[in-house]
């Protein structure tokens, strides 16, 4: 029952304040705006949290501009990928295995698919993505590599490594000592019969 309480909020008061209120720049002045209707009547630094009409217009224009910019970046990414694939196919057809060190340069379905993935990986950085999202994706992929690690496989018990969470991958390198206070954590929980006493007689 001691662990039934809710987990503590691991955010600072500044983070919680920023989550509740959004600040936009209007004429070089930071104007607080609300994130939900239930805090419209609250005060921020002694001022009403209700944003002025100009702030509403600014927020709408900012959202529209951001969505249009992201759409343009996605179209640009698609154009660069297609252009690179076509250029690579033309170049490979022009070479047509004329250079021995290039290997097989024939245009096949597998080579086109490989080039699409290569071009996408090269140009995907033009689309802005938050650092937190990038780290979560990296941790998620690292969890698969942990599960696939053959050096962590135990052939005796036929047990492979299992990453139950991907939030602690970077902390594994910090582990130097492991302390255990109960049987079964690091050792096998196996009980072997040695002796017993029945009616004042010892057996075993």
List, for residues 14-44, the tens digit of each pLDDT value: 444 444 444 444 444 444 444 444 444 444 4
- Residues forming a β-bridge with 26: 29
* DSSP code string of 121-187: HHHGGGS---HHHHHHHHHHHHHHHHHH-GGG-BTTTTB----S-SSSGGGGGG-------STTSSS
Q: Which residues are known to be catalytic? A: 181
Domain range list for the chain? 35-127
Burial 59-81 (b: 16+ CB within 10 A, else e): beeeeeeeeeeeeeeeeebeebb
Report whether 128 contacts 86 (CB < 8 A): no
The confidence score (pLDDT) of residue 32 equals 47
Which of the two residues, 159 and 51, has the higher pLDDT score?
A: 159
With bands split at pLDDT 50, 70 and 90, how would you rate the model's confidence at 83?
very high
Phi, psi of 17, deg, nearest 5: -70, -40
Which pair of tokens denotes residue 44?
Answer: 């921020």
Burial 124-156 (b: 16+ CB within 10 A, else e): eeeeeeeeeeeeeeebeeebeeeeeeeeeeeee
Which of the two residues, 29 and 95, has the higher pLDDT score?
A: 95
Which of the two residues, 100 and 139, has the higher pLDDT score?
A: 139
Rg (CA), the chain: 30
Q: Interhelix angle for 53-95 vs 109-123, to 10°? A: 140
* Average pLDDT estimate for 91-100: 74
Say yes or no to pLDDT of 144 above 80: yes
């Amino acid at each position: 029952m001691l662990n039934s309480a809710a987990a503590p909020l691991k955010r600072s008061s500044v983070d919680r304040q920023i989550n509740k209120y959004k600040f936009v720049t209007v004429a070089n002045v930071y104007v607080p705006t609300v994130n939900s209707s239930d805090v419209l009547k609250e005060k921020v630094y002694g001022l009403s949290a209700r944003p002025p009409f100009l702030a509403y217009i600014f927020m709408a224009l900012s959202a529209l501009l951001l969505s249009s910019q992201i759409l343009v970046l996605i179209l640009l990414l698609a154009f660069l990928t297609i252009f690179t694939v076509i250029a690579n196919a033309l170049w490979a057809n022009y070479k047509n295995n004329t250079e021995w060190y290039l290997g097989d340069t024939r245009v096949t379905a597998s080579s086109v698919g490989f080039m699409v993935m290569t071009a996408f990986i090269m140009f995907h950085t033009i689309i802005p993505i938050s650092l937190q999202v990038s780290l979560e994706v990296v941790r998620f992929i690292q969890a698969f590599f942990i599960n696939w690690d053959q050096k962590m496989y135990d052939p005796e018990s036929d047990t492979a490594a299992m990453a139950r969470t991907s939030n602690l991958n970077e902390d594994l390198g910090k582990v130097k000592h492991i302390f255990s206070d109960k049987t079964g954590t690091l050792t096998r929980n196996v009980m072997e019969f040695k002796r017993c006493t029945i009616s004042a007689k010892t057996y075993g």
